[in-house]
């Protein structure tokens, strides 16, 4: 298994094109934002006033959302919650483990990895056909496709 290497922005990209984490940003930027929010007794994500300095989050939803700016797994949980566990392509409702979170504009095409406006909940079947269509197009355009080739395997 090839090792994921961090790029300039600290994003770790797996061999199959999946983004893992902006871990360096989490430990600098994220930690500072959390500390500031706790100090101000405000939710770090939505800015709502909090009753004490114990936590920088007003809710589980805000915690997922904030973590999701840095970590794929949290972005994934938040997006599924936001989309109410419904596939945004065919509208089917499923359990979390039967759903994927997809990059609307593929990372390989320059889509943002951890930006909520570029993420959508999809069911496995829709995800497969979207990925297949993407790879077909990509093959036809003869673009380099190393990052995403693993997804079809
Ligand atoms: Zn909040
Ligand atoms: Zn679907």
Cα 124 to middle of ligand 2, angstroms: 7
| Residues near ligand 2 ion, CB 5 Å cutoff | 87, 89-90, 123, 126
> Of the bound ligands, which one is closest to the alpha carbon of residue 92?
2
Q: Which two tokens stand for residue 56?
A: 């920088």
Cα 128 to middle of ligand 2, angstroms: 9
Report the pLDDT value the prediction gives residue 5, as an integer from 0 to 100: 43
Residue 71 falls inside a structural domain: yes
Q: Whole-model pTM?
A: 0.74
Cα 4 to middle of ligand 1, angstroms: 32
State how beta strands 119-123 and 99-103 pair. Answer: antiparallel
Task: End-to-end CA distance of the chain: give it in Å, rounded.
Answer: 14
Residue 89 falls inside a structural domain: yes
Q: What does the H/E/C string look like for the chain?
A: CCCCCECCCCEEECCCCCEEEEHHHHHHHHHHHHHHHHHHCECCCCCCECCCCCCCCCCHHHHHHHHCCCEHHHHHHHHHHHCCCECCCCCCECCHHHEEEEECCCHHHCCCCCCHHHEEEEEHHHHHHHHHHHHHHHHHHCCCCHHHHHHHC
Residue 152 falls inside a structural domain: no
> Of the bound ligands, which one is closest to the alpha carbon of residue 93?
2
Q: Which range of residues forms the domain containing residue 92?
A: 11-142
pLDDT averaged over consecutive 10-residue blocks of the chain (153 residues)?
Answer: 44 57 79 96 97 95 92 91 97 95 90 90 96 84 51 42
Residue 151 falls inside a structural domain: no
Report the pLDDT value the prediction gives residue 11, as an integer from 0 to 100: 60
Residue 38 falls inside a structural domain: yes
Cα 51 to middle of ligand 2, angstroms: 41
Q: Considering its fold, how many domains does the chain have in total?
A: 1
């Amino acid at each position: 298994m090839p090792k994921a290497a961090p790029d300039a922005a600290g994003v770790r990209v797996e061999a199959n094109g999946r983004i893992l984490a902006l871990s360096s940003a989490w430990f600098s930027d994220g930690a500072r934002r959390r500390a500031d929010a706790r100090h101000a007794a405000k939710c770090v994500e939505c800015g709502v006033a909090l009753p004490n300095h114990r936590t920088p989050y007003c809710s589980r939803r805000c915690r997922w959302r904030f973590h999701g700016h840095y970590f794929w797994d949290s972005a994934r949980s938040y997006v599924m919650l936001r989309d109410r566990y419904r596939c945004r392509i065919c509208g089917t409702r499923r359990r979390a483990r039967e759903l994927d979170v997809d990059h609307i504009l593929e990372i390989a095409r320059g889509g943002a990895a951890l930006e909520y406006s570029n993420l959508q909940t999809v069911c496995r079947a829709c995800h497969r056909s979207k990925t297949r269509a993407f790879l077909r197009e990509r093959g036809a355009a003869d673009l380099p496709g190393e990052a995403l080739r693993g997804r079809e395997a």
